[in-house]
Structure 1
Amino acid sequence: MPCWIEVQLSDVEAGRRFYGELFGWSFEPAREGVLWASRKGASVAALAPKGDGRMPTVWTVYFAAPDLGALLGRIRGSGGQVITGPSPVGPGSGTGRPLGVMALAADPEGAVFGLWQAGTHAGFARRHEPGTFTWAELYTRDTGAANDFYAHLFHDALFGPGAAPDFGRAAVDEVFPPEMPPHFLVHFGVADVAKALATVHRLGGRTQVNPFTTSYGTVAVATDNQGASFALLER
């Protein structure tokens, strides 16, 4: 299941101001210029500096991987690719132990996602409420092929008991122009989409897709003041 999210930014301090006001987050240093965001004292996300200015400014969703090596093997065997990793991250503050092991991968259509094998950091300490991760939607050109690929990786998340409370799939052209590349879109819970969009605009972001109704709530897509896309979800 999704267990963590991280945004890659050119200006982490600008990100701190934007997301701190939008979602009521507080921040603390984590590692190597990375800030951990918390809401009500519980960790909810990370803001990371881009190591290379050519890297995209994006939110990445990480899926929990109890056996990262085996999962990477299944990704390659199913037509996906491993982009980076596996790489240890950390160590955690004062423990000497790694926070975990991470990798980035892409499905056969090129949608990028992260994988996280937990060490001292298991992932979200709070979710499914305003100001926190609430949903990840995969926008893909071939939903049938996506179902086959991700079922091979994350069967329980798609088809197990209480399946898919955090993760869904839709065709790109249901929301975006057909030329939009396949991608994951991180959704944050909000109490009022219209008010949240007004705050986004005031902070220098913009609306990418106006509010629309889905089976899981009212959604709008926005970009922050550095161009990272995310969704706002009112349930």
Structure 2
Amino acid sequence: MADTAVSGFAEGFAEGVPCWVDAQLSDVEAGKRFYGELFGWTFDEGEGPQAGRYAQAYSEGRAVAALAPKRDGRMPTVWNVYFATPDAYALARRIKHEGGQLVREPMPVGTAGTLALAADPEGAVFGLWQAGTHPGFGKRGEPDSFCWTEVYSRDKDLVDPFYESVFGYGGTDLADAGDDFRTWSPAGTAPGPDTAIGGRSLVAGKFPAEMPAHFLIYFNVTDCDAVAATARRLGGRLRAEPFDIPYGRMAVITDDQGAVFAVLQDPEP
């Protein structure tokens, strides 16, 4: 996360709620061109020691994401999701106690906040964010902004208790998916679709055996097919062509540098 002023950002987020996403890319300038045309994002390099390297993205003047340069070419090209917390150090201790690992111990990022990277017991990586001057999303759940995330796992008996203990989530298995898909709601809310902020999907049999556990983030769009066609024109690839689900129409896209994300069009009224 970059040090930045609060303009364009929303208020704070409850613990365990996705509050930010960023893409780790080899070429940030190329990323700006791809996502700028795909979603209409504009970019601000921010202020402070990371200026010129960590490019924050805006939609309608509100913060939606960021593009960051990979510090090491061996690092994966990937979209990361960050979960809000009022105390990154305490949450990091819970993660280790429940069988997770810390990829990066909590560290202050200027006055913006405190950052950490963790991995669940299957190795899926996610971020923690304790807000300072950077609360997180200024726009979400609207076109061209983040709307959902889910972790793809193979062992629900290992992964579900981890997240539900670490974040206090209430879980709900979807009736039409059995235990293959489970949604999570923040602590203190009634579990269910109206409060869900993310979920877990089982990948056994659906993906190659060598595919590691991972998070997939979704961006809301007004026209899934048009966005998919634009992504292909810009040099991206479609991992999953547009298809209908009970919650709208979606596609899974790999950008022109290899970062994977999904887009979701709301269902027709």
Using the aligned pairs only, state the percent identity: 55
Query: Which amino acid in structure 2 is aligned with residue 149 of structure 1?
Result: F
Residue of 180, 199, 220 corresponding to 2:211: 180
Q: State the 1:176 CA deviation.
A: 2.8
The answer to whether the aligner puts 1:147 opposite 2:178 as a matched pair is no
Q: Distance in 2 between matches of 1:74 and 1:233?
A: 33
Q: How does 1:109-148 map to 2 (within 5 A)?
A: 109-148=122-161
> What residue in structure 1 maps to residue 258 of structure 2?
227
Higher helix share: 1
Pairwise CA RMSD: 1.5
Residue of 81, 96, 99 corresponding to 1:79: 99
Q: Distance in 1 between matches of 2:74 and 2:117?
A: 17
Structure 1 unaligned regions, length at least 5: 91-97
Q: Give TM-score, length-normalised by structure 1.
A: 0.92
Larger CA deviation: 217-226 vs 110-119: 217-226
> What residue in structure 2 maps to residue 35 of structure 1?
55
Query: Are the structure 2 counterparts of residues 186 and 99 from structure 1 closer, same or farther at C-alpha, using a change threshold of 3 Å?
Result: same
Aligned residues: 228
Q: Give TM-score, length-normalised by structure 2.
A: 0.81
Larger CA deviation: 135-144 vs 211-220: 211-220
Structure 2 unaligned regions, length at least 5: 1-16, 171-183
Per-residue CA shift, 1:42-73, capped at 9, x if unaligned?
A: 00101011111111100000000111111111
Contact 1:131 1:189 (8 Å CA) reproduced: yes
Contact 1:172 1:180 (8 Å CA) reproduced: no
Contact 2:228 2:242 (8 Å CA) reproduced: no
Query: Which amino acid in structure 2 is aligned with residue 41 of structure 1?
Result: G
Query: Are the structure 2 counterparts of residues 108 and 187 from structure 1 closer, same or farther at C-alpha, using a change threshold of 3 Å?
Result: same
Question: Which SS does the other structure have where 1:117 is aligned?
Answer: strand
Q: Distance in 1 between matches of 2:206 and 2:144?
A: 23
Per-residue CA shift, 1:62-120, capped at 9, x if unaligned?
A: 00011111111110011100011211113xxxxxxx10000000000000000000000
